[in-house]
Amino acid sequence: MEAKPVSRYTTAARINHWITAVSLVLLALSGLALFHPSLFFLTGLFGGGQMTRILHPWIGVVLALSFAGLFIRFFTLNFWKPEDTVWMKNLGKVMDGKDEELPELGKYNAGQKLVFWGQSILILVLLGSGVVLWDVYFSDYSSVDQKRWAALAHALCAVAAILIWIVHVYAVIWVKGTLRAMTRGSVTGGWAWKHHRKWFRQEVGKP
């Protein structure tokens, strides 16, 4: 298959994605700095401990709004389908690059869908628990016990979100040609045919 560019993401979608990605990284760094004394040195990236504590929740607001934009754009493309179950049952073939032996896929595979829905749930919980912990504005709306539970939920979900982000980044690096979709907005025809053949057929069929 000739390496002909195929449009995958609009400029607006890519900007939306990178705002979300940068916000998530900044939240991870500032959150880890506040999580344990051994990581307090990370506050230097944000102007010190006090400034980190001020900025962290506001960056969380940016993340929530930005991810909401991604969710609205892509949630219909991430509904689970029968071929996704088959894909999950044949991860060995996926790892070996034997995509031709698997069902044709739409714009996203099962792994990408799990990342999408996993982050959607985690960010929602992080937002809710973060509001409970944001004493500057919401201290009068929750009890001490509720704050403790919120802190626990916030920490656990943050760790899970970071782990999913690591898997996501690794997958982008592992599947050559994937990063191009979020930097140039397009992929090669060969990449589309190999990894997302059903979606590729749909794109080719557009006027």
Residue numbers annotated as active site: 168
Strands 5-7 and 186-188: antiparallel
Angstrom distance (rounded) from CA 132 to CA 153: 11
Instruction: Extract the tokens encoding 162.
Output: 């970071």
Locate tokens 């944001």: which residue? 134
Angstrom distance (rounded) from CA 42 to CA 131: 23
Calculate Rg over the CA atoms of the chain: 20
Angstrom distance (rounded) from CA 98 to CA 194: 9
